[in-house]
Amino acid sequence: MSYKEERKEKIREQYKNARSLIEKRDLEIRPITVTPMSFNSKDVKRVCAYARVSTDSDNQTTSFELQKEAYKKLIEEHENWTFVDLFSDEGITGTNIRRRKGFQKMIEACKRGEIDLIITKSVARFARNVLDSLSVQQELSQLEPPVGVYFEAEHLDSLDPANKMILLMLFMVAEHESQTKSEIMNWSIDKRYELGMFIIPKLLGYELNADGKMVIVRDEAAIVKLCYYLFLNGFSAKAISLIFQELEFSRKDCLKYQWKESTIKGILTNEKYCGDFCARKTYTPNYQDHIARKNKGNRVQYYERNHHEPIVSREIYHAVLKLIEAHRFTSSGYTIPILQVVSKGGLRGFIPIDRHWDGFSVQNYIDACSSVSECNQKVKRVPVFPEELSGFSEVNQYCFSEKTDMYLSINKEQFSFNIPCMEQLPVENVCMYLHPIFRRIAVTKANESGRNFQWAHRNTEWSPLPKSIKGFARVLFEMMDWDINRRYRIRGKTITQGSEKAIIFDLSRSYGLEMAYSKVPEIDYEGEDFILEYKDCSDIACVLSKNALSELEEQIKEYRIDGYIKHGKLSGN
Strands 440-445 and 453-454: unpaired
Strands 156-157 and 148-151: antiparallel
- Quote the DSSP letter at residue 251: B
Nearest to 272 by CA among 230, 315, 317: 317
How far is residue 99's CA from residue 561's CA, in Å, rounded to a whole number? 42
Instruction: Give the pLDDT confidence score for residue 24 in this predicted structure.
Output: 60
Please answer whether residues 314 and 274 qualify as being in contact, where contact means their C-beta atoms are separated by less than 8 angstroms.
yes
pLDDT digits (tens, 9 = 90+) for 409-437: 999 889 999 999 988 888 888 999 999 99
Instruction: Give the pLDDT confidence score for residue 192 in this predicted structure.
Output: 67
pLDDT digits (tens, 9 = 90+) for 549-569: 677 777 666 655 555 554 444
How far is residue 408's CA from residue 501's CA, in Å, rounded to a whole number? 17
* CA–CA distances in Å: residue 560 to residues 249, 264, 300: 14, 21, 42
Nearest to 409 by CA among 472, 486, 463: 486
How far is residue 50's CA from residue 88's CA, in Å, rounded to a whole number? 6
How far is residue 11's CA from residue 213's CA, in Å, rounded to a whole number? 29
Strands 148-151 and 117-120: parallel
pLDDT digits (tens, 9 = 90+) for 279-315: 777 666 655 555 666 777 667 777 888 888 899 988 8
Nearest to 340 by CA among 540, 503, 543, 531: 540
Ordered per-residue pLDDT tens for the chain, 573 residues: 666 677 767 766 766 666 566 566 666 666 655 444 544 555 668 888 888 776 555 555 566 677 777 777 777 777 788 888 888 887 665 456 677 888 889 989 999 989 989 888 887 777 766 667 777 888 888 888 889 888 888 888 888 888 888 877 877 776 766 666 666 666 666 766 666 666 778 888 888 888 778 888 888 888 898 888 888 887 888 888 888 888 777 776 665 677 888 889 999 999 999 988 887 776 666 555 556 667 776 677 778 888 888 999 888 888 888 888 776 666 556 667 778 898 887 788 899 998 888 778 898 899 889 888 765 444 444 444 444 444 444 445 555 456 678 999 999 889 999 999 988 888 888 999 999 998 999 999 888 766 788 888 877 788 888 988 888 898 999 998 898 888 899 999 988 877 788 899 998 887 754 434 445 555 655 556 667 787 877 667 666 666 666 777 776 666 555 555 544 444 443
How far is residue 224's CA from residue 205's CA, in Å, rounded to a whole number? 7
Structural Rg of the chain based on CA atoms: 36
Please answer whether residues 62 and 11 qualify as being in contact, where contact means their C-beta atoms are separated by less than 8 angstroms.
yes
How far is residue 537's CA from residue 80's CA, in Å, rounded to a whole number? 88
pLDDT digits (tens, 9 = 90+) for 451-464: 788 888 877 788 88
Nearest to 151 by CA among 63, 35, 38: 38
